[in-house]
Amino acid sequence: MFSNISKSLLCCTNAIGPNRALAYALTKCPVFLEPPLSQCRNYHEVTGDIVCPNMVRGIDHLRDPRLNKGLAFTLEERQALGIHGLLAAKFKTQEEQLDICRISIDRYEDNLNKYLYLVELQDRNEKLFFRLLSENVEKYLPIVYTPTVGLACQRFGLIYRRPRGLFITINDKGHVFNILKNWPEPDVRAIVFTDGERILGLGDLGAYGMGIPVGKLSLYTALAGIKPHQCLPITLDVGTDNQDLLEDPLYIGLRQRRVRGKEYDEFIDEFMEACVQRYGQNTLLQFEDFALGNAGRLLAKYRNKYCTFNDDIQGTASVAVAGLMAAIRVTKRKLSENIYFFLGAGSAANGIANLTVAAMVAEGLTKEQAQDRVYMFDVDGLLSTRREGGVPEHAKAFGKNIAPEKSFEACIAKIKPSCLIGCSTVGGAFNENVLRQMAQNIERPVIFALSNPTSKAECTAQDAYNFTDGRCIFASGSPFPPVQYDGKEFHTGQGNNSYIFPGIALGVIATATHHIPETMFLTAARTLANYVSESDLALGRIYPSLSEVKEVSLAIAIEVAKMAYDEGLASVYPEPKDLSKHVSSMMYSFHYESSMPVVWDWKPEEKFNVRPVQPVPKNI
């Protein structure tokens, strides 16, 4: 019935009145763009939203967090959008709004309340939220991420308000694609998903685990500038084996025991297929916080078939190896001269151990020689081939033909490691005896307490310094306050995969890489280690400061992009001449853009007054 222009004029006219309707229609309306809206990526570049601006009613510019600028709307915008009068008279800059946000958050003493403030801000004004986070990483990362996000997950039933991300349950098996279609964004490039079985070191939190993919994706945008509409957090709800949750009246997930085995595997298969069917073959699929029984197994199954990685295995490996590389500059011991002892022999430990082996091989050892330098201790004791039950399959490479031992401290005395790496979820496991022994064995012991959140860290930064006479090189998964030792202050670094996954994701998305080889994580580790300055090391930090993490993420993305082309993994062709420029051009702007329609030959006759009616083109 209607031509395209008539349709656009119709919707524009209904929404914002005839004067501006034509201007909109001529410049922005999706029915004018080819290909149509559903496939048009440019459209998102313009609006960042799937809502046709021509169909947005005035008030929706305030209600939609992607469009809302609050008091930062100019008088001209307020009048043009029909929101004049809906806002107080004052005009504020984004900078003034950021000040108010900081004051508001500081008023809360409780971190969970700070978390809720930030969630509400994201729901209200997306650009303000991401700019606040990206410009205050040190201050707010511990709120949207570990440790506070752990608490938020534990209280998820209480704090759950508005939908953010998709919940897909095992009952939806057979219909996963249809559920993905309900997500309102057509241009998703990255999905972070969990089944909630190993949320940080807090165990099985079932559907309450949703806080983790949401938090991780906030870092995609804040730390690497990946556009929010390209990110989709998902929780795969297959039930929970956490009895407390099954009995919790507030629990919001499926109230049943976890589905496992064939049915679970079929569900994950269907999910992976549905994601690429809905969003394309190069959609980045990040596994997050899957339990040991599934994490490594699913990575092995999918790593060469999808554009996928497991953050807990590979992202963690990369950040830990970067820390070990930087530590060399202090210890003067090559990677291949260390003895590594892991407390915990799960996903994180094996990921780190395997990448450390690869790095030692690059220094000249054989794989076997490198593996010989790595020992592990899990819930059943030292990984000895002689112990009852043997060495678990996932850690076979690190089992040793030595006498079984159940005492961790006895192992330290026997093995005399130079690097002690905690990925055990056992808070305080590196006690005074353990740390003193490490200091006795070696001049500069490396101590990593990587378990999250803070309550699960194997030791605090202060204890690590106190009990090693201030000689340790320390990093932790969650942040610790500065250490005071011997009249000096030290700022220890955060060995957390958040230094890695945002940059990897940006590089992968920018090149539409079709799968992610292990070597990318070694490249990312080297890039991160190179960012550590002498002043970082003097402060006690083997990672750059968190205020530099955006720069680091971009550097990692560029290296990843180079590698994608060098190794024939990229799908964006022709290859951009200037890769740095290409990667940067993909990034989100944290600053407000004009909400005024872009028009040609159109000048207001009188400022702040009614606009002149435009002549309708003859050739409609």
Ligand X SMILES: NC(=O)C1=CN([C@@H]2O[C@H](COP(=O)(O)OP(=O)(O)OC[C@H]3O[C@@H](n4cnc5c(N)ncnc54)[C@H](O)[C@@H]3O)[C@@H](O)[C@H]2O)C=CC1
CB of 48 or CB of 215, closer to Mg ion: 215
CB of 22 or CB of 192, closer to ligand X: 192
How far is it, in rounded angstroms, from Cα 219 to Cα 584?
17
- Which residue, among 370, 224, 195, has the nearest Cα to 295 in the 3D structure? 195
Residues 180 to 219: which contact ligand CC(=O)C(=O)O by CB under 6 A?
200
Q: Which of 28, 114, 127, 216 is catalytic?
A: 216
How far is it, in rounded angstroms, from Cα 48 to Cα 157?
31
Could you confirm whether 485 is annotated as catalytic?
no
Please choose, out of 159-167, 212-220, 301-309, 344-352, the segment that lies near ligand X by the rule CB under 6 A.
344-352
Could you confirm whether 216 is annotated as catalytic?
yes
Q: Hey, is 568 helix, strand or coil?
A: coil
DSSP summary character for residue 380: T
Consecutive H or E run containing 484: strand 483-485
- Angle between the N-to-C axes of helices 549-566 and 501-511, in degrees from 0 to 180, rounded to the nearest 10: 40
Q: Which residue is nearest to ligand CC(=O)C(=O)O (CB)?
A: 452
Strands 381-382 and 374-378 turn out to be antiparallel
How far is it, in rounded angstroms, from Cα 95 to Cα 104?
14
CB within 8 Å of 206: residues ≥ 6 apart: 196, 237, 239, 240, 242, 245, 251, 253, 254
CB of 15 or CB of 190, closer to ligand CC(=O)C(=O)O: 190
How far is it, in rounded angstroms, from Cα 227 to Cα 45?
9
CB of 221 or CB of 454, closer to ligand CC(=O)C(=O)O: 454
Question: How near is the Cβ of 180 to ligand X at its closest, in Å?
Answer: 27
Residue count, binding to ligand X (CB under 6 A)? 30
List 47, 294, 354, 497, residue binding ligand CC(=O)C(=O)O (CB under 6 A): 497
Burial string for 319-349 (b: 16+ CB within 10 Å, else e) reads bbbbbbbbbbeebebebbebbbbbbbbbbbb
Question: How near is the Cβ of 319 to ligand CC(=O)C(=O)O at its closest, in Å?
Answer: 9
Residue with tokens 């596994």: 287
Residues 241 to 300: which contact ligand X by CB under 6 A?
291-292
Question: How near is the Cβ of 146 to ligand X at its closest, in Å?
Answer: 7
CB of 303 or CB of 333, closer to ligand CC(=O)C(=O)O: 303
How far is it, in rounded angstroms, from Cα 392 to Cα 399?
9
Q: Are 117 and 109 in contact (CB under 8 A)?
A: no
Tokens coding 544: 């750059």
Q: Are 493 and 543 in contact (CB under 8 A)?
A: yes
Question: How near is the Cβ of 212 to Mg ion at its closest, in Å?
Answer: 7
* 312 contributes a contact to Mg ion by CB under 5 A: yes
**Residues 286-315 vs ligand CC(=O)C(=O)O: string with x where CB under 6 A?**
---x---------------------xx---
Question: How near is the Cβ of 495 to ligand X at its closest, in Å?
Answer: 5
How far is it, in rounded angstroms, from Cα 250 to Cα 156?
9
Question: How near is the Cβ of 295 to Mg ion at its closest, in Å?
Answer: 10
Tokens coding 546: 């968190």
Please choose, out of 89-97, 308-316, 482-490, 612-620, the segment that lies near Mg ion by the rule CB under 5 A.
308-316
Which residue numbers belong to the known binding site for (S)-malate? 198, 452, 496
Q: Which of 24, 43, 140, 145 is catalytic?
A: 145
Q: What is the CB neighbour count within 10 angstroms for residue 215?
A: 24
Question: How near is the Cβ of 261 to ligand X at its closest, in Å?
Answer: 19
How far is it, in rounded angstroms, from Cα 86 to Cα 227?
29
Residues 397 to 436: which contact ligand X by CB under 6 A?
423-426
CB of 203 or CB of 470, closer to ligand X: 203
Q: Say how many residues make up the chain.
A: 620
List 5, 128, 207, 348, residue binding ligand X (CB under 6 A): 348
CB of 286 or CB of 437, closer to Mg ion: 286
CB of 282 or CB of 498, closer to ligand CC(=O)C(=O)O: 498
List 77, 204, 289, 458, residue binding Mg ion (CB under 5 A): 289
Give the strands of the sheet with 446-449, arranged side by side.
Answer: 381-382, 374-378, 340-343, 419-422, 446-449, 473-476, 493-494
Please compute, for residue 77, the number of CA atoms within 13 A of its CA located in the half-sphere on the CB side.
19
Residues 53 to 92: which contact ligand CC(=O)C(=O)O by CB under 6 A?
none
Question: How near is the Cβ of 151 to Mg ion at its closest, in Å?
Answer: 16
Which residue numbers belong to the known binding site for a divalent metal cation? 288-289, 312
**Residues 457-496 vs ligand CC(=O)C(=O)O: string with x where CB under 6 A?**
--------------------x------------------x
CB within 8 Å of 273: residues ≥ 6 apart: none
Catalytic residues: 145, 216
Interacting residues toward Mg ion by CB under 5 A: 289, 312
Interacting residues toward ligand X by CB under 6 A: 198, 200-201, 291-292, 312, 316, 319, 343-349, 377-379, 423-426, 450-452, 456, 477, 495-497
